[in-house]
Amino acid sequence: MRQAESVAVRWQTYRPWLGTLIRLALAAIWIWASVSKLSSPRTFVQTVRAYDVTWEWLSKAIGYGLPVIELIVGIMLALGIAVRLAAAISAVLFLIFLIGIIQAAARGIQLECGCFGGGGLTASGTSYTLDILRDIGLLILAGYLVYWSYTRISLDEFLARNDGVDLPSAKRMRSDQGQRKYNAMLESKRKAARERALWLNGSLGVLIILIGLIGVGVQSNRAKIEGSLTAAHASVSNGVTFGKKAAATVDVYEDFQCPNCLNFEKAVHTQLDKDVRANKAQVRFHTLAFLDASSNGNKYSTRAANAALCAADASVDDFVAYHNILYGKYKDKQVQPAEGGSGRTNRELEQYASAIGLSGGTLTTFDGCVANQNHKALVEAITEHASAHGVNATPTIKVNGKSISPTLAAWNKAIADALKKGPAPDPSKTPTPTPTPSATTSATTTKSPTPTASASR
């Protein structure tokens, strides 16, 4: 019996300190998670969309507002103020995260959770086991603080410093009047503590909502794209259009660092080019930048897409030729860097322009466009437009608005079906010439406008 009492006493002594460690650990996790997301609000909205479970307005509300809420909860836990409220919010958020990951796993969606920035769909295989176990563990820790919210080194402890009632002498406690007086004082302190907690939690709850709404507005404003969105042969909604109007209008959403895009390019490149030149298909290339985080910080996806649009300034044929070399080889070396690699340098991107035949003033203009990233804002806008319209994976290929698998068989069937319903092809009598491959490039990187449709987020 005494041993059990001793264990209970030790638990009562150590429990607030255990709660303190849990509180500070959760505070660090929330602050880390929020800071990593606050720096790139538009990217986090795209990550939320990748889960494919929320309406567009809700995706933006979560993308802009969640990092702010996480930061507030982290600060509350770090200070130890309204710990039970902060822990309850934490538990709800961890439960939502857990449901989101489980439904993504059940639906076969391959994505990185974006819990600490980045995130979104990925081309590489994804295992959700660690994510699920982590969220379950964090949910248990938050539940501990909800149940045992009293911790040390906290504002809650400071505010409760006068809540205790000294136990009267044994003589006073032996009388009914003494016991009633003690119990009345005890109940009075408890009531005051409950009222204080009610007002404090209510005030902080309202404050969290207000700051969250303000945060949504601030983050929304920070997510605005600044810079020129105009280009000679490209637009936000249609990207770069290759070919005349045809029975099949094909939208190709791609990322130049996406390995699945490269696979699609290798499979469909030749047939796509033939169908465009035969006026069976018109292809609109949407150059996205989903995989910037996969190039060790040098943002290859954005820089490569920008370079392709710089080539489009010269002509659509130059864009297609440059597009092809980004998915082809240069001096017998595969141009597309491995996902997670360092990407290609601007100097290399400039060399590819020479390889497709740009020279003189056109090449000088191209080099300046690449160095200054003249079309960076346009790349951002094309990416955001695609994400907002449900394109969260690359490659995504749509024929007359209907998504198809990124395979040659699916391509041929979709084009054939479109020809049955659409106008007969009317190929140009004088087809666009296909320039001879550069001596420094392999035959797969000819300046021939060989449209491609690939991108894997």
Domain boundaries, the chain: 2-222, 240-445
Q: What is the arithmetic mean of pLDDT over 218-247? A: 93
Instruction: Answer whether residue 340 shows pLDDT above 90.
Output: no
Q: What is the arithmetic mean of pLDDT over 120-136? A: 76
Instruction: Answer whether residue 247 shows pLDDT above 70.
Output: yes
Of 197-201, 398-402, 409-413, the range with the lowest mean pLDDT is 197-201
CB-count burial class (<10 Å; 0-12, 13-18, 19+) for 336: buried
pTM for the whole structure: 0.79
CA atoms 339, 342, 348, 353: torsion sign? positive
| Contacts with 443 (C-beta within 8 Å, 6 or more apart), sequence order | 437
Instruction: Answer whether residue 450 shows pLDDT above 70.
Output: no
Instruction: Answer whether residue 430 shows pLDDT above 80.
Output: no
DSSP per residue, 220-272: HHHTS--S---BTTBBTTTBEEES---SEEEEEEE-TT-HHHHHHHHHHHHHH
DSSP per residue, 120-154: EE-SS----HHHHHHHHHHHHHHHHHHHS---SSS
CA atoms 374, 219, 290, 114: torsion sign? positive
Going by pLDDT thresholds of 50, 70 and 90, the confidence category of residue 104 is confident
Q: What angle do CA 360, 362, 363 make, to 5 degrees?
A: 70
Q: For 18-69, write each residue's pLDDT tens digit.
A: 999 999 999 999 999 999 889 889 989 988 998 888 899 999 999 999 999 9
Question: In this structure, are residues 152 and 189 in contact, taking their beta carbons and an 8 Å threshold?
Answer: no
More confident residue, 161 or 319: 319
Q: What is the arithmetic mean of pLDDT over 387-401? A: 92
User: For residue 168, what are the CA distances in angstroms to 3, 176, 184, 185, 187?
Assistant: 27, 13, 13, 11, 15
**What pLDDT, on the 0 to 100 scale, is given for residue 291?**
85
Neighbours of 181 (CB within 10 A): 14
Of 96-105, 162-171, 264-273, 347-356, the range with the lowest mean pLDDT is 162-171
Task: Report DSSP state, residue 116.
Answer: T
Q: Which helix (H) or strand (E) holds 397?
A: strand 396-399
Q: What is the arithmetic mean of pLDDT over 419-444? A: 59
Going by pLDDT thresholds of 50, 70 and 90, the confidence category of residue 113 is confident
Instruction: Answer whether residue 448 shows pLDDT above 70.
Output: no
Going by pLDDT thresholds of 50, 70 and 90, the confidence category of residue 437 is very low
Going by pLDDT thresholds of 50, 70 and 90, the confidence category of residue 171 is low
- Residue 365 CA to residue 359 CA, distance in Å, equals 10
**What pLDDT, on the 0 to 100 scale, is given for residue 190?**
82
Q: What is the arithmetic mean of pLDDT over 282-296? A: 88
Taking all residues of the chain, what is their mean pLDDT, rounded to a whole number? 86
Q: What is the arithmetic mean of pLDDT over 79-99? A: 95
Radius of gyration of the chain (CA): 30
**What pLDDT, on the 0 to 100 scale, is given for residue 5?**
62
Going by pLDDT thresholds of 50, 70 and 90, the confidence category of residue 424 is confident
Going by pLDDT thresholds of 50, 70 and 90, the confidence category of residue 185 is confident
Beta bridge partners of 397: 252, 404
Question: In this structure, are residues 105 and 128 in contact, taking their beta carbons and an 8 Å threshold?
Answer: yes
Of 292-301, 387-396, 405-414, 417-426, the range with the lowest mean pLDDT is 292-301
In the three-class reduction of DSSP (H, G, I as helix; E, B as strand; rest coil), residue 408 is classed as helix
**What pLDDT, on the 0 to 100 scale, is given for residue 2?**
63
Burial letters for 292-314: b for 16+ Cβ neighbours within 10 Å, e otherwise? bbbbeebbbbbbbbbbbbbbbbb
Instruction: Answer whether residue 272 shows pLDDT above 70.
Output: yes
**What pLDDT, on the 0 to 100 scale, is given for residue 1?**
60
**What pLDDT, on the 0 to 100 scale, is given for residue 403?**
95
Instruction: Answer whether residue 314 shows pLDDT above 70.
Output: yes
Q: Which tokens is 411 given?
A: 């391509």
**What pLDDT, on the 0 to 100 scale, is given for residue 321?**
95
Q: What is the arithmetic mean of pLDDT over 240-253? A: 96
Q: Which CATH number, 3.40.30.10, 3.10.105.10, 3.40.50.300, 1.20.1440.230, labels domain 240-445?
A: 3.40.30.10
**What pLDDT, on the 0 to 100 scale, is given for residue 4?**
62
Instruction: Answer whether residue 323 shows pLDDT above 70.
Output: yes
